[in-house]
Amino acid sequence: MIDLKLIRENPDLVKKAARDKNMKVDIDQVLAVDGRRRALETEFNDLRHQQNVAGEHIAKAPKEAKAELSKALGQIKTRLKEIDVARDQVDAELRALLLLVPQIPDPAAPIGPDASCNVEIRRVGTPKRKADYGFKCKDHLELGSALGIIDMDRGVKIAGTRNYVLRGAGAQLHEAVLRLAWDLMSSRSFLPLTVPVLVNDALMYGTGFFPLHREEVYLCERDGQSLVGTAEVPVTGYHGDEILDEAELPKLYFARSTCFRREAGAAGKDTRGLYRIHYFDKIEQVVVCKSDPAESAKWHAAIIKNAEDLLQALELPYRVMEVCTGDMGQGKVRMYDIETWMPSREAYGETHSASRFHDFQARRLNLRYRRADTGKPEFCHTLNNTVIASPRILIPLLEINQNADGSVTIPPALRKFMGGAERIA
């Protein structure tokens, strides 16, 4: 949610943001409803003043005049009740519209309608193509099935399409990458949290997943709750409805959670293997900082570096992409994806997403801090980024490190979590 005052004062800027993000929202309607709300507020305040004055007059009026004055006062009270009802209706209408208004992207963000306009920032490592192996290169599912570490068939039997079971060394490898990420984040002064993955709908609205992405979420409608698609939701909402001291900031958190995604609209897309699945585990990093664009940009670079350092420890080639306006989503000011090389795809595949929101989420969550200089409350800025998500990261890990005999070499950084094993065979 963005500041309503900004919409009033710069409607054309907000309209441009909606166009650049390919979002349909009627800003003129927002302003019209806001105008009705403000008119009702003005009338309400005027009538309350008249009510107070009339009450004083009745107290001092002669007996014969009291009846007429009381009648007028009754009319005022009736109208105040009508305005109360109308205000509630208009407030609800305005809030519903404001929930659709996009955050204004950073002027430096690339403008474009979709992912084809994303901009490559840098590449790290040398991609290994199928022809470089000197033997017939297998994809991760062929490798995992032959090694007995991935069982898609029984995953589907248990839970339907886009489900899987990791077995033996596959489950160990999954845990190993998450534990490596946990250790890295702990060493960088980020505080670990264990958080619920079933949250109140208010947090889904607060972090910007509702109303626009409701179809992508597993809903527990009877309880008014939802399964999260990322720990971003409970971690960002952790300080909702609080006023923090500026001295407490920044808040640096990370959390491991199981993530659930319906993948609505992904029918027929990436159906093979572990790329697009209904549940996975992820370690997410979240920053809550003061309302300063330069401070936000500094932490954005820091959380991207955390993810890059982890990929370099795993010796995986990757590239960093800046996401264009039409692909970044509603609440983001600026966004970067990290894509890791996947030989079976002969391409990079997205494995990380790093976003900064400025005060978009904080306004929805009522997440504020008290400025040290003025003592006044101000909305925080929020950011988040994937540290690691598995089992998607197992795709490049298995494929890049495969050997001619069908075994897979375990990267040195993970061996301490694998009982010292050097290969999966």
Known catalytic residues?
261, 276, 350, 353, 392
The CA distance from 136 to 410, in Å, is 20
**11 token code pair:** 């409607």
Q: Work out the burial of residue 88: count CB atoms within 10 Å of its CB; fewer than 13 is exposed, 13-18 middle, 19 or more buried.
A: exposed
* E strand segments, 291-392: 318-322, 334-342, 347-358, 368-370, 377-379, 381-390
Give me the phi and psi of 255, to 5 degrees please: -150, 145
Can you tell me whether residue 144 is helix, strand or coil?
Answer: helix
Can you tell me whether residue 183 is helix, strand or coil?
Answer: helix
Please name the amino acid found at residue 55.
G
In this structure, the strands spanning 334-342 and 225-227 are unpaired
**Max CA distance (Å), the chain:** 108
The DSSP secondary-structure symbol of 374 reads T
Give me the phi and psi of 275, to 5 degrees please: -75, -50
The CA distance from 392 to 316, in Å, is 13
List beta partners, residue 420: none
CB 344 within 8 A of CB 137: yes
The CA distance from 391 to 183, in Å, is 18
The DSSP secondary-structure symbol of 412 reads G
